Chains A and B, each alone.
Chain A
Amino acid sequence: MQTHPYTWNYIPLLIQILVAVGMACSMTTFSWFIGRHRNTKAKLEAYECGIPAEGDARGRFSVRFYMVAMLFILFDVEAVFMIPWAVIYRQLPHITGSPLFGFWEMLVYLGFVVVGVFYVWKKGILDWATDKADI
């Protein structure tokens, strides 16, 4: 079995991260020095299918993208709280003394999540084509 302290398990993970980042950095650097550079004006322009780029690419975009990120945060927090429940679910009948207690309390919690999904759905936030919500 494992003879070393548990915290050592993070060391390989840390080395892996360093190796991955180092690899990515060295690839970028080497290809910069190995490849030749003969720039022309046309090459350095933004490539938009040969048509000269007009204006700045960065502008305002549909608020839907922002809404997706917002919904993601809220549902992500809800999902994160399900994980400790899932880890302990097998032992819950022994711990709480009732076979279905753990199930019911999570059902209530999931009920809130479902209400949230249903609300967003009905408001048309999830419809990208019809623009029912008019956002």
Chain B
Amino acid sequence: MANVPADLKYTREHEWAKREGDRVRVGITAFAQDQLGDVVFVELPKVGAKVTAHQAFGVVESVKAVSDLFAPVSGEVLEINAELPQKPETVNKDPYGKGWMILVKPSNAGELDQLLTAQQYEEFVAQGGGH
């Protein structure tokens, strides 16, 4: 089973969300990057863009697949990981650290609580998401 840090929240679309004060940092899980394989392109929104929970905010492409990225929470994009366009492989190498994607100022703090806990996400992956 892939690494699932206990202090993060998760979507069923395999994004993670990390509360940092009144902000939420977003990336994809170790499981996601493993399944995608070598990430070669990441398309992120612009700073200032609004994202909506459960809706696509960007795209990640591996050699063989294109996948939408879904926002765990609604809000405004405060920062994006500017390193990813040049070094998309960072998503594979460090999905929970340097491979983060966007930093959001959430408009509805309650949304974060509706996400999966690490344990729920692990179960979700173990039940159907993985092999």
Q: Do A and B associate with each other?
A: no
**B interface residue numbers (CB < 8 A to A):** none
Residues of A within 8 A of B (CB): none
